[in-house]
Amino acid sequence: MPSGAYTGTTTVPDSTHPNGETCVFLRPEDRYCAIQVACLANNMPAWELKPYYCCLFPLVDEWDGVQRTLLLDEGNDLFERGGSCAEPAPEPQPLIQVYAEEVSLALGLEGYRQVCERVGLTPRL
């Protein structure tokens, strides 16, 4: 975003969700993101219309006006409970690999690959 400011989508009360609230775009029947589903149904990339902030979840792209920092939102209740859209990995993996798509969205594919190289990992993408 040119301004550097961004926000996530609005949440609404949801007694069936462990947090007691959920994203307004989360479909109640399957808990999929309606924006992402609509993109895929129209042959668009899954994140084409989704807000940047939401695409990165559970990563957060912080900008202080000088430097960008990509962080894991460890304080997020869903993350703390082990919640995810993906199936659990059969063995532990570095977070940069688990969230390769999100890191690539934030840093670009070449940026993701450079970070992998710096930490001695084979890029997943």
Q: Residue 92 burial by CB count (10 A; 0-12/13-18/19+): exposed, middle or buried?
A: exposed
Q: What is the dihedral of CA 12, 88, 53, 18, to 10 degrees?
A: 20
Q: Average pLDDT, stretch 20-38?
A: 89
CA 32 to chain centre: 13
Report the mean per-residue pLDDT for the chain.
82
Please report which confidence band the pLDDT of residue 1 belongs to, taking 50, 70 and 90 as the band edges: very low
Given a contact cutoff of 8 angstroms between Cβ atoms, the answer to whether 79 and 59 are in contact is: no
Question: pLDDT, tens digit, for every residue of 85-108?
Answer: 555 667 788 888 888 998 999 899
pLDDT of 58 above 90: no
So what's the pLDDT on residue 7?
Answer: 62
